[in-house]
Amino acid sequence: MSPSEVVSAFIGHLNAMQLEEAFALLDPGIVYHNIPMSPVTGPAAVAAVFAQIPMTAMDWETHAMAETGGTVLTERTDRFTLRDGRQVSLRVMGAFEVEGGRITRWRDYFDLNQWLSQMAPRG
């Protein structure tokens, strides 16, 4: 698979909530930096980040994708359905580095305040 195909497959698995299959596309030494948070290393640490989101579904819409060498850039809208039924939507710019058919580095850039304001408890 080309780097773009690896990233597309990864996002496809996330959208189908096939997290085990998605995380199988991550290199054992992956560094995931969900900027502006601190980076984490390894598939288990990436899974722990996702486990913190109280979601029942994901829908990551890719608006644009560009590949150069082993780097894939994505412009996306990431949507999450939370357990309480709320929808969270976030514009994201992602950079994935792919080697040997696995994602070795992944950086997502987004507006943290937009995320926090949507995740705040309603009441």
Cβ count within 10 A of residue 27: 18
For residue 23, give the 3-state DSSP assignment.
helix
Question: Catalytic: which of 27, 78, 84, 111?
Answer: 78
Going 49 to 121 to 17 to 68, the CA torsion angle's sign is negative
- Rounded to the nearest 5°, which phi and psi values hold at 78? -100, 120
Question: Catalytic: which of 27, 59, 108, 111?
Answer: 108
Active site residue 78: yes
Active site residue 111: no
CA distances from 102 to 9, 79, 84, 96 (A): 11, 24, 34, 10
Beta-carbon contacts of 63 under 8 Å, excluding residues fewer than 6 positions away, are 75, 76, 77
The catalytic residues are 78, 108
